[in-house]
Amino acid sequence: MVYRNKKVVRKTTQEPPICVGPIMLHGDSKLASYLHFFATVYGALNGAVVDSSEIACDGVVTGSDEAQALVNAAKIGFPNCKQLFCLIHCKDNV
């Protein structure tokens, strides 16, 4: 499932980006499990027949609750991704 986040605007097109999700990843919380998921997503995005200005693996942004295995897997799976963290979880972690 994808949607356009109307509260965010791409600098290049001034249009809301296409976002995947929301997705709740839960399982054994291990790096290997998250890496498998991100490798699958990466492969699907690179093989997708869409306008490259809409979906590009270099423009991926991830959001999480700062779970270290998930953060590390996102960095490995999408090395150029930006990471956002849930403010509520960040406050709880402090």
pLDDT at 24: 66
Round to whole Å and give the CA distance between 30 and 94: 23
The angle, 0 to 180 degrees and rounded to 10, between the axes of the packed helices 68-77 and 31-47 is 30
Q: Which has the closest alpha carbon to 45: 22, 77, 75?
A: 77
What pLDDT digit, counting tens, does each position of 51-62 carry? 544 445 566 777
Q: Which residue ranges in the chain fall short of pLDDT 70?
A: 1-2, 20-26, 47-59
Per-residue buried b or exposed e for 50-80, using 16+ beta carbons within 10 Å of the residue's own CB: eeeeebeeebbebebeeeebbbebbeebbee
